[in-house]
Amino acid sequence: MTTKPSPGNDEPFVDIHELYTEEVRDKEMKPDKYCRIHKDKGQHHIGKNHHHHHNGVKFTRQVSLETGFSVFGNCTKKEERRSKLLTRSGNSFGEFRGAARVTDVRRGEFNLFRTKTTLSRQNSLLPLRKLAEQDVHHHHPPLPQAEEDVDLEVPAGRYFAALQGPELDEVKDSEDILLPKDELWPFLLRFPIGCFGICLGLGSQAILWNTLSTSPATRFLHIPPYPSLALWLLALMTLIVVSFAYILKSAFYLEAVRREYYHPVRGNFFFAPWIASMFLAIAAPPLLTHGPPHPALWCVLMTPVFLLEVKVYGQWLSGGKRRLCMVANPSSHLSVVGNFVGAILAAKVGWEEAGKFFWAVGFAHYLVVFVTLYQRLPTSHVLPKELHPVYSMFITAPGAASVAWEAIYGEFDGMARTCFFVALFLYLTLVVRINFFRGFRFSVAWWSYTFPMTTASVATIKYAEQEPCVLSQGLAVALSALSTAMVSVLLVSTLLHAFIWGSLFPNDYAIAITRHKVGVKGKAKTIRKAANGIKRWTRSSSLALVSSVAKNPFEKDASGGKV
Amino acid sequence: MTTKPSPGNDEPFVDIHELYTEEVRDKEMKPDKYCRIHKDKGQHHIGKNHHHHHNGVKFTRQVSLETGFSVFGNCTKKEERRSKLLTRSGNSFGEFRGAARVTDVRRGEFNLFRTKTTLSRQNSLLPLRKLAEQDVHHHHPPLPQAEEDVDLEVPAGRYFAALQGPELDEVKDSEDILLPKDELWPFLLRFPIGCFGICLGLGSQAILWNTLSTSPATRFLHIPPYPSLALWLLALMTLIVVSFAYILKSAFYLEAVRREYYHPVRGNFFFAPWIASMFLAIAAPPLLTHGPPHPALWCVLMTPVFLLEVKVYGQWLSGGKRRLCMVANPSSHLSVVGNFVGAILAAKVGWEEAGKFFWAVGFAHYLVVFVTLYQRLPTSHVLPKELHPVYSMFITAPGAASVAWEAIYGEFDGMARTCFFVALFLYLTLVVRINFFRGFRFSVAWWSYTFPMTTASVATIKYAEQEPCVLSQGLAVALSALSTAMVSVLLVSTLLHAFIWGSLFPNDYAIAITRHKVGVKGKAKTIRKAANGIKRWTRSSSLALVSSVAKNPFEKDASGGKV
Amino acid sequence: MTTKPSPGNDEPFVDIHELYTEEVRDKEMKPDKYCRIHKDKGQHHIGKNHHHHHNGVKFTRQVSLETGFSVFGNCTKKEERRSKLLTRSGNSFGEFRGAARVTDVRRGEFNLFRTKTTLSRQNSLLPLRKLAEQDVHHHHPPLPQAEEDVDLEVPAGRYFAALQGPELDEVKDSEDILLPKDELWPFLLRFPIGCFGICLGLGSQAILWNTLSTSPATRFLHIPPYPSLALWLLALMTLIVVSFAYILKSAFYLEAVRREYYHPVRGNFFFAPWIASMFLAIAAPPLLTHGPPHPALWCVLMTPVFLLEVKVYGQWLSGGKRRLCMVANPSSHLSVVGNFVGAILAAKVGWEEAGKFFWAVGFAHYLVVFVTLYQRLPTSHVLPKELHPVYSMFITAPGAASVAWEAIYGEFDGMARTCFFVALFLYLTLVVRINFFRGFRFSVAWWSYTFPMTTASVATIKYAEQEPCVLSQGLAVALSALSTAMVSVLLVSTLLHAFIWGSLFPNDYAIAITRHKVGVKGKAKTIRKAANGIKRWTRSSSLALVSSVAKNPFEKDASGGKV
């Protein structure tokens, strides 16, 4: 992920497909002239950098100007060029490190993801740069494309096509990205929405400890209210910090935020801030607050949840790439669980009917999500092939539904029990497969997988209140201990990663994918077409070359050297 | 289903594609000779009309002779003919308007959809016609195929292939239909089953106003019972009129009714008459009736619903083109909601247990339909890509389920509330997307989209009875007002369309699709086959003509005028 | 299945595709030479039998050595050979009937399915045979493949690819199997897991008669407890016998058991023994037992069910060929119904909470299975196209859920009624389609289709207890009579098949499918590889042969003899 650019071939990352297509096309037309022009002009230009004019040479897609230059400039040095063609464009910026305008260039890149007003303000401070850009634009229309690439909404299909992994957070090898891979991006760009998972984890812990200290079922543990208070304060602090950081991100890199919002998995995490806030409202320590929270708080917190729901469920229902059978994945439970948490809070502020409304909405959609995920439709692009921590999300909705039903209807009846037992069974199913949870790289996303466990613990305590016996109380204590242990481990890991190793926030490649894939296939087709149409190639031995390339799209460099 | 084969020619129904195929085949082989023969014979025949003999010329499938003649007659004028071949058969009849037998011809066409007994009686009154028919048959056996086309059940796949739109009521451009497109069909053929939607809309309004005037939750409105009575009488009258018209249609154009029955969307509307009747039974005004309705009424109305259900759900479950993942569409809710309405009526007549039976059946299938629709499986051919008024159907089932549960179990408990709130949420989701409801052409189908709103209003009133507060009562009044306004607008629109503009019942193309697609592909195959087998057609220049026509199958009428 | 053997060709079962194809190709190429070679070499080998050395001859797939010999040995008698080549490899053993080692040979084949320890013990007693095998192995590495074929788990996809029918118990025509088709296999190999269906049928009958004799709703029938006792004893005996037989099968033919376990339909039947046992525990006649059964019994019986569930539901959820949208079929209800039966027994032993747990688990998964089956996703390979007795499984889960809910929550409320009515409706739906149930060949699997009827009868009696009226009691009696009649018919049929006709256990081809389809394609690939790699083949005329083999995958041995 962070190879240093090799010298004398300083573009380690090239999008072969792209340039290749270009080149093949040009060459087909006028191979000799092409190379001559490049020798004449390209060499010339490499000095001037921003002022080269190529007649008849069009860049259909080019991530950065520099990348383009690197190609022209090296036409003569065939050997070097071969290796260069194999590199990936993202890193091609590396070779300009020594240049004076590198900083500008790079800032420009990150600007792609900047909020537009911010950007224009900045631009007005850089008249020189703007001039240069205008100059460049005149001859090279593709540059704005990169910006357009960011401005326009990335189609849902692209996320599926370009990303992989159960959280769709890894860029496929065949994909290019818009930002440099070899350096650390600005902190805000690396700060994912998933960080609210920390707030979820800590907030649910605060609820758990609050419940442990107050529930009659666990009274025998004699847990004082202070751990709960401490956890609550920690969770509150974390929520404030994370929110502040993300608000900053929204302010400065709105495009990056938009891309996270449209991300099929991360989109669900936009529910997290509100759920975490509701956790804090539910866990409000009696030492600090007097009486139940005011209904206005509920309104404030549920309004965004409701609006997001209308949006998300509408996307599920209406056709398109974001319909449910496409995007369903364990994180979708986050879109559903907000309803149950909202119902619990509604019961707390005394608005049971509103709670029942959200419970019903949540349950109906939970049913759909549950069935859809269980069916594992082949249309679902996101569902991980193998079991993965993300599956713990399965526990959260039934657990929360159970607690919420008890809160709003006042009894732990058949419905609440059914939900609770379903959660318990899913928990057991996952615990049995514990080995699936090992061997994964730590990331902030792990936090999101702790709050289902905590929810299940709280539900178990509620159940133990109804059916006080050794087994239920033992189970409640055991699950609570397990979830607390899990959160502790994560807390320590997070602190270590954050402050000791400084590796908590790696580059967030998932937001930097390009809007359109330029694939191998398209290229092969182009080549074949060309092969049919143009005669002048037939005599030379290059024909064999071309056809071989057609079959073998990743080795054109071998041939490139010969032309 | 009917008719004895065809006569001479009075078989107006032509599948141009077919004829075309034939002809193309012939011409390819021996264009000159072919053309000569046609000049000699065809021209000759065009006068005699019913007595032409072509040696060696076979019409494998030909819907009407006239069309055929129009083709033959123009064999010399190649330019004109080319354009003629491009026209659509439906319109080609137009050119015979002046002829004496046009009326007969056209009646013959519509006869395709006639009930068999009716038709045969008619035929017996037309001995001449029959004779002529026999004559033609002697030489042209394929002709009856058009009739067979109507006789046999149209496979479900054809509806999906030939129709489009969220209600599958628009014929795709590439499709031909069996009836003329340029004139108004007989009224009964244009009278769709969807008209029962009017009865649904008015009947549910009657219930709504009945509830408004009697419910304690809306007592503060002081609504007199007369609006309800007026609506009930209006709904009753409409139901009688619509039923009478549809019974006439069944009597005279049974084939058209069968085609509506097998239509994946319209099939669901066969539940509508019974649901509308039950609405009237439920809304029976106390001013006219004494005590609850007799259980026999319930039996009479639920029996057809039950039989239809056994049939429809069986089709969902058993394999084939009508299985649920294929046909699921918002109209499927109509197949389900009958159970809930039946349950309400059952509670009214005092048969709670029967109501519970139907509620259970309805709920189980509603669950399946809900999940299936929400998933938007790619296998579903009918689900509209974009949101559409038809989505309002989503509200109807949970709303009715909620009211029914309260009616049969006597309490508005968790289950009823959950159903009600789900309906309310779906309502809100659709209201938020109000702009999706604008810009659609008015049609009778719109009526079907009002009764879900009314159902939701009734459910809200029931809810407001349980939870009397400003919000719930205000919501009840608001939703009632909204649904009444909607119905009023539709009522006025319908009256305007019906009596002022006379555009309420356009031609119902959806029932006139052909049983088999005669695509360009199939033709090409046929041609190729012929080309291999027959030698004598090979010489002429018409070949080019023919092949050009093959690409452009849709404009033969332009040519029609020239004969 | 029982074509009369043709004379002079004692292999009644022929798979024409296989051997025949090979030969025809060979002969076409070099008929004379080909046959000569075989006369020279093949004849020679037929004497030595186990000691032939073919250099460079590779058997890519060969079911047994004998099969190969049968081919070699008969090269001279062309007429005979042709017909023999038409046979299926499995059957070619027939011709060695007279030979001394036939028995050994055959035992070797069945050994493929033997438990390994058993096998190795046997092998140690057969040093000679082992030597011969080693000899053979030296030159013919592929032989062990047959064994490996059995050892390794058959991938789920293979079952779908090689088998057909609603129970996936018929081998497709294009498939070869590992065991001979023309003779009766050892009894244990023919004893399918489906036999536990008999125990299910009888056990549920015992419950039914127990309920009939004790329920207040059917007191008017004055049924004595003796029929219930007799049925219980019969069911107990059957369970013991069947269990004993299947334990023997597990001991001797573990591989066959494993193949049944991985079979997508039969895997569900591994729940049957435990469910049948629970039936017996529930129906324990008061004449024999005192008080309710001990909770330990419940633990013993539910533990395997729970473990199987964790396994099966895990497979549904996790990706792969066994995920739900692939394997869902009516038999999947068996995986679910164990929970409800377990819940009933839990209520009986006094562990209501445990019962609620299993009820919740069962209900959640029943919902998923129900929706999935109703949707009839095109991805489901197993769901029979047409209705079939297996559909009666649909009744069992809601019926059992209803009874279980009443048992654990103590009231026949909305939930229990909803489940019951759903079961009743599904029952009616199937009864209406009664003709779908005729015309099927009797098999042991039919028994599995009786217990849903019995479950529905029991649920109806429970319902009649709650709503005693003529209709409900009449329905209870009618359904009970129907299910008892069905079981009686099956009992007589089974006895007749078992003891009179001896046709109860035909060869169980479903377990003997090969692990990999040796299709034409795969062969072609192998050949191409070979063609590229090996030079020494190029000069000889065998090349043509080789390429011909490419088309004809099953007789490489024929060529093998020549090298």
Q: What tens digit of pLDDT does each residue of B529-545 get? A: 444 433 333 333 333 33
Looking at residue B40, what DSSP letter applies? I
| E-assigned strand segments in A161-239 | 163-164, 170-171
Nearest residue, CB atoms, A319 vs list B376, B424, B433: B376
Looking at residue C390, what DSSP letter applies? G
**CB-CB neighbors (< 8 A) of A419 in chain C:** 360
Asked if B282 and B211 count as a contact pair (C-beta separation under 8 A), the reply is: no
Query: Is the Cα dihedral B28, B29, B32, B37 positive or negative?
Result: negative
Q: What is the mean pLDDT of each run of 10 residues along chain A (563 residues)?
A: 39 38 40 40 39 39 36 40 39 37 52 59 44 42 45 66 69 70 78 89 93 89 88 93 93 86 86 94 84 90 93 80 79 91 94 93 94 80 63 89 93 92 91 68 79 92 91 92 91 87 76 62 42 38 38 37 34
The tokens for B314 are 């069986």
Q: How far is C432 from chain B (nearest CA, A)?
A: 8
Q: Which of B6-10, C191-195, C306-310 has the lowest mean pLDDT?
A: B6-10
Exposure of B68 in the CB half-sphere (CA atoms within 13 A): 36
Q: Decide which of B357 and A384 is more confident.
A: B357
Nearest residue, CB atoms, B374 vs list A317, A363, A379: A317
Residue C385: the pLDDT is: 57
Looking at residue B498, what DSSP letter applies? I
Residue B82: the pLDDT is: 40
- Give the list of residues 6+ apart from residue B111 with CB closer than 8 angstroms, or none: B2, B3, B119, B122
Q: Do B421 and A319 touch (CB under 8 A)?
A: no
> What distance in Å separates the CA atoms of residue A327 and residue B305, rounded to the nearest whole number?
37
The tokens for B125 are 């009154």
Nearest residue, CB atoms, A417 vs list C314, C356, C371: C356
**CB-CB neighbors (< 8 A) of C421 in chain B:** 356-357, 359-361
The helix (H) or strand (E) run that includes residue B249 is: helix B226-252
Asked if B382 has any chain A CB less than 8 Å from its own CB, the reply is no
B502 phi-psi bin (left φ>0, alpha ψ -120 to 50, beta other): left
Query: Is the Cα dihedral A233, A239, A241, A242 positive or negative?
Result: positive
Asked if B530 and B66 count as a contact pair (C-beta separation under 8 A), the reply is: no
Q: How far is C423 from chain A (nearest CA, A)?
A: 20
Alpha carbon distances (Å) from C229 to B502, C165, C236, C279, C508: 76, 37, 10, 13, 34
Asked if C387 has any chain B CB less than 8 Å from its own CB, the reply is yes
Find the DSSP H helices in B318-443: 324-327, 332-349, 352-375, 393-409, 414-432
Asked if B336 and B371 count as a contact pair (C-beta separation under 8 A), the reply is: no
DSSP codes, B99-156: STTHHHHHHHHHHTTS-HHHHHHHHHT-HHHHHHHHHHHHH-TTTTHHHHHHHSPPPH
- Give the list of residues 6+ apart from residue C409 with CB closer than 8 angstroms, or none: A414, C352, C356, C415, C416
Q: How far is A346 from chain B (nearest CA, A)?
A: 15
pTM beyond 0.80, yes or no: no
Q: What is the mean pLDDT of chain B?
A: 70
Question: Taking a contact as any Cβ pair under 8 Å apart, which residues of chain C between 454 and 493 contact chain B?
Answer: 467, 472
Looking at residue A163, what DSSP letter applies? E
| E-assigned strand segments in A380-533 | none
> What distance in Å separates the CA atoms of residue B337 and residue B393, rounded to the nearest whole number?
10
Q: Do B314 and C429 touch (CB under 8 A)?
A: yes
- Give the list of residues 6+ apart from residue B283 with CB closer than 8 angstroms, or none: B203, B206, B207, B210, B228, B231, B232, B235
Q: Residue A88 forms beta bridges with which residues? A: A13
Asked if B253 has any chain C CB less than 8 Å from its own CB, the reply is no
Q: Hey, what amino acid is at A322?
A: R
Q: Decide which of B131 and B460 is more confident.
A: B460
- Give the list of residues 6+ apart from residue A534 with CB closer than 8 angstroms, or none: A28
Q: What is the mean pLDDT of chain C?
A: 70
The helix (H) or strand (E) run that includes residue B458 is: helix B451-466
**CB-CB neighbors (< 8 A) of B328 in chain C:** 375
Residue C217's closest CA among C482, C473, C474, C475? C473
Q: How far is A415 from chain C (nearest CA, A)?
A: 9
A267: helix, coil or strand? helix
The helix (H) or strand (E) run that includes residue B226 is: helix B226-252
Looking at residue A38, what DSSP letter applies? I
pLDDT band at C432 (very low <50, low <70, confident <90, very high): confident
Q: Decide which of B99 and C153 is more confident.
A: C153
Asked if B337 and B402 count as a contact pair (C-beta separation under 8 A), the reply is: no
Residue C347: the pLDDT is: 94
Residue C523's closest CA among C11, C157, C17? C17
pLDDT digits (tens, 9 = 90+) for B279-323: 999 998 877 778 888 899 999 999 999 999 998 888 887 766 777
pLDDT band at C539 (very low <50, low <70, confident <90, very high): very low
Alpha carbon distances (Å) from B212 to B217, B378, B461: 8, 43, 8
Please check the confidence at residue B268 and state whether its pLDDT lies above 50.
yes
Asked if B517 and B491 count as a contact pair (C-beta separation under 8 A), the reply is: no
Q: What is the dihedral angle through the alpha carbons of A110, A115, A120, A123, rounded to the nearest 10 degrees?
A: -20
> What distance in Å separates the CA atoms of residue B145 and residue B165, rounded to the nearest whole number?
29
Asked if C161 and C171 count as a contact pair (C-beta separation under 8 A), the reply is: no
Asked if C367 has any chain A CB less than 8 Å from its own CB, the reply is yes
**CB-CB neighbors (< 8 A) of A323 in chain B:** 375-376
Asked if C422 has any chain B CB less than 8 Å from its own CB, the reply is yes
Q: How far is A307 from chain B (nearest CA, A)?
A: 10
Nearest residue, CB atoms, B319 vs list C376, C420, C422: C376
Alpha carbon distances (Å) from B57 to B25, B46, B134, B429, B532: 11, 16, 18, 62, 17
Nearest residue, CB atoms, B378 vs list A325, A365, A405: A325
**CB-CB neighbors (< 8 A) of B415 in chain C:** 414
> What distance in Å separates the CA atoms of residue A369 and residue B144, rounded to the nearest whole number?
52
Q: How far is A413 from chain B (nearest CA, A)?
A: 11
**CB-CB neighbors (< 8 A) of A377 in chain B:** 375, 377
Nearest residue, CB atoms, B357 vs list C371, C385, C421: C421
**Tokens 């929360």 sit at which residue?**
A400
Residue B10's closest CA among B99, B115, B73, B116? B99
**CB-CB neighbors (< 8 A) of B324 in chain C:** 374-376
pLDDT digits (tens, 9 = 90+) for C262-289: 888 888 899 999 999 999 999 988 777 7
Task: Nearest chain B residue to A364 by CA: give it.
Answer: B422
**Tokens 């049924």 sit at which residue?**
C223
Angle at A58 between CA A55 and CA A64, to 5 degrees: 120
Q: Hey, what amino acid is at B450?
A: T
Nearest residue, CB atoms, B417 vs list A328, A356, A365: A356
Asked if B340 has any chain C CB less than 8 Å from its own CB, the reply is no
**Tokens 């991360």 sit at which residue?**
A266
3-state SS, one letter per residue, for C368-420: HHHHHHHHCCCCCCCCCCCCCHHHHHHHHHHHHHHHHHHHHHCCCCHHHHHHH
**CB-CB neighbors (< 8 A) of A366 in chain B:** none
Q: Do B324 and C374 touch (CB under 8 A)?
A: yes
The helix (H) or strand (E) run that includes residue C163 is: strand C163-164
The tokens for B481 are 């007002």
Asked if A353 has any chain B CB less than 8 Å from its own CB, the reply is yes
The helix (H) or strand (E) run that includes residue C549 is: helix C542-551
Q: Hey, what amino acid is at B423?
A: A
For residue B307, the tally of other CB atoms under 10 A from its CB is 11
- Residue of C393, C418, C460, C463 to mutate when probing chain B, most B C-beta within 10 A: C418
What are the φ and ψ backbone dihedral angles of A437, each rounded to 5 degrees? Answer: -90, -5
- Give the list of residues 6+ apart from residue B459 with CB closer than 8 angstroms, or none: B399, B400, B402, B403, B419, B420, B423
- Give the list of residues 6+ apart from residue B297 with CB closer than 8 angstroms, or none: B281, B345, B349
Q: Residue A171 forms beta bridges with which residues? A: A163
State what percent of residues in chain B have pLDDT above 90: 28
Chains with 3+ CB–CB pairs under 8 A to A are: B, C
Q: How far is A428 from chain B (nearest CA, A)?
A: 26
Q: Do B319 and C383 touch (CB under 8 A)?
A: yes
For the ranges A208-217, B26-35, C139-148, C379-388, the one whose mean pLDDT is highest: A208-217
Q: Hey, what amino acid is at A75?
A: C
Chains with 3+ CB–CB pairs under 8 A to B are: A, C
> What distance in Å separates the CA atoms of residue C425 and residue C405, rounded to the nearest whole number?
19
> What distance in Å separates the CA atoms of residue B184 and residue B179, rounded to the nearest whole number?
10
Residue B25's closest CA among B528, B517, B544, B518? B528
The tokens for A20 are 């290749």
Task: Nearest chain C residue to A472 by CA: give it.
Answer: C353
Q: Which of A190-194, B489-493, C524-528 has the lowest mean pLDDT?
A: C524-528
Angle at B121 between CA B115 and CA B122, to 5 degrees: 90
Residue B561's closest CA among B86, B95, B13, B75? B95
The helix (H) or strand (E) run that includes residue B323 is: none
Q: How far is A30 from chain B (nearest CA, A)?
A: 38
Asked if C247 and C115 count as a contact pair (C-beta separation under 8 A), the reply is: no
Q: How far is A371 from chain B (nearest CA, A)?
A: 8
